[in-house]
Structure 1
Amino acid sequence: MMKIIRLNIGKPKISTYKSKEFLTGIGKESISEALLLKDQFVGDGVANPAFHGGPDRAVCFYPYEHYKQWEEEFNRTLSIPAFGENLTVSGMLEKDICIGDIFQIGETIVQITQGRVPCSTISKYNSLDSLLKRTVDTCYTGYFARVLKEGMIREDSSIKLIKPHPMQVSVYDTMNALFFVDHLQSMEKIIEVPELADAMRKSFVKKLNKLKV
C-alpha cells in the first residue's frame, strides 16, 4: 500500500562535517501539510539548483523501506528525512515506480521524471562516509517528480497511481543503466521515454556518445 510516512520541507542552511561548513537543503523538517507549486513546495528550497529543484525535480521521494536496511548496515538510526526528501513514502520502491507514472497525492497530480543522482552531501549530512557509495551501489536513490496539478499535500493524504506509463521503464533500471550498464539498447529505450527529465536525458546521450566512439 502506497502511503506518506513523512512530509518534509525546509530552506537551505549551514551544516558542519569534519569541522567544515557547507550550505545544504537536505536538512528538512517534517510538517503536517504544505502547498505544492510547479517548482517546489512553499517554504522549501535547494542549495544546488544544478542538481535539485526546478519543474522537472519539484518533488523528491525516498522509500521508507530503505531506512531499515541502512540502519542495520550502519548500526545506527537515521533521522527522517536523512536523504533530504520531501516525501518519505512506503510501497513505492524504485523497482516498482516507472518514469512517466502519474500519481494523485492529496490535491496534487505529479509525474515521475527521473531517479535522484546522489552527491556527497548525503554522506556529509549523515556523517557516514560510505553512505553515498552504498546509495549508488544499490540504486536506492529515491526519485523526482514534476507537478501537473498544484495543491495541498498533507501528511495523511492518500497516494493513488492514476496513470502508469506504458513503456514501464523503472526508476531502478534507469539508475542502474546510468551508473553501471553499457548496453546501448537499454539506454536508447530510456532516452525514448518522452517524460524523462531533460537533465537526465542529456546524461544518457553523453554516455551513449562516448560508447559509440
Structure 2
Amino acid sequence: MENKKIVSLQVSKPKQETFANVNIFSAMNKQAVDTVTVTKSGLMGDGVGNEKFHGGPDRVVCFYPYEHYALWNEKFNKRLDIPAFGENVTVAGMTEDATYIGDIYQIGDAIVQINQGRIPCSTISHFNREAGLLKIVMKTGFTGYFARVIKEGTIKKQDEILLLERQQEKITVQFATEVILHGRDGEEGASALLAVDSLADDWKQRAVKRIQAVQD
C-alpha cells in the first residue's frame, strides 16, 4: 500500500507561556526532534497543558497534514511555522479526507491507529497570533487528528508511514469531524460513526449526544 511521509516530528512538555498577551499553561510550542519514543500513554518528552480536554490513551499522537499550511499561509498572508497546530507529526499524503477512522499505520517500529479527529481550542489562535484562526479551522474541518498506540516503539523523522490495514472505507476523518463539529447528516451521520468500533470512546459519546439532540 502507499507510503506516507513525515515532514516534521516534534514534542514538548507543557509550561507557562504567553501567546498574543494571553498567559497559558500549554505544550503548543513544540520543538523539532529527529527521534521520539512512543508509548501507549504518550510520547517521551511530550505532554498536554489541560489533561481534562487533551491527552489520554486515545489521543497519544497528534497528526496535522502539511498540505493545509499553504492554505493558511495564503489566508493570513504570512508563513505559519511548523508546528503551528501543536502537532507531533506534520505529515504529507494524509489529509483528513484521505484518512479513515480505524486506519492502522506502522511508523518506524511503532504501530498506531487513527481513532478521531481533533477539536482544537483557542490556544491555536493565541499561539499563531491570529484571532480568526480557530473559527476558520473549525469551519473547514482541517483540524488534524489523533491516534492511539497499538505497539510501542521509536519513530524517526526519516521513517516512512506504512498503511497496514484499512478497516473501513466509509468514514473518513473529515466526515467524522464534520459530524461532531457541525452535525453533518444529522442522526444518520452520527449513527454511521457509532458503527465504527475503532472510533475513540469520547467521540462515540459525542455521537450519542448528537443523536439525542436530533431526537429531542
- Distance (whole Å) between structure 1 residues aligned to residue 170 and residue 59 of structure 2: 20
Conservation of the 8 A alpha-carbon contact between 1:114 and 1:145: yes
1:115-194 alignment, distance < 5 Å: 115-180=117-182, 181-194=184-197
Unmatched tracts of structure 1, length 5 or more: none
Name the residue aligned to 2:11.
9
Aligned-pair identity (%) = 44
- Distance (whole Å) between structure 1 residues aligned to residue 168 and residue 185 of structure 2: 24
SS at match of 1:56: coil
- Distance (whole Å) between structure 2 residues aligned to residue 137 and residue 152 of structure 1: 34
Establish whether residue 80 from structure 1 lines up as the match of residue 82 from structure 2: yes
- TM-score normalized by the length of structure 2: 0.96
Name the residue aligned to 1:198.
201
SS at match of 1:92: coil
Conservation of the 8 A alpha-carbon contact between 1:8 and 1:31: yes
Corresponding pairs, count: 213
- Distance (whole Å) between structure 2 residues aligned to residue 201 and residue 132 of structure 1: 23
Name the residue aligned to 1:114.
116
Cα 1:18–1:8, aligned 2, differ >3 Å: closer, same or farther?
closer
- Distance (whole Å) between structure 2 residues aligned to residue 63 and residue 16 of structure 1: 26
- Distance (whole Å) between structure 1 residues aligned to residue 90 and residue 200 of structure 2: 21
- Distance (whole Å) between structure 2 residues aligned to residue 204 and residue 47 of structure 1: 26
Name the residue aligned to 1:101.
103
C-alpha displacement of 1:209: 0.6
Conservation of the 8 A alpha-carbon contact between 1:15 and 1:125: no
- TM-score normalized by the length of structure 1: 0.97
Shifted more, 174-183 versus 32-41: the winner is 174-183
C-alpha displacement of 1:168: 2.9
Question: Displaced runs of 4+ in structure 1, greater than 3 A?
Answer: none
- Distance (whole Å) between structure 1 residues aligned to residue 133 and residue 70 of structure 2: 14
SS at match of 1:173: helix
SS at match of 2:79: coil
Conservation of the 8 A alpha-carbon contact between 2:186 and 2:211: no
Shifted more, 147-156 versus 17-26: the winner is 17-26
C-alpha displacement of 1:61: 0.1
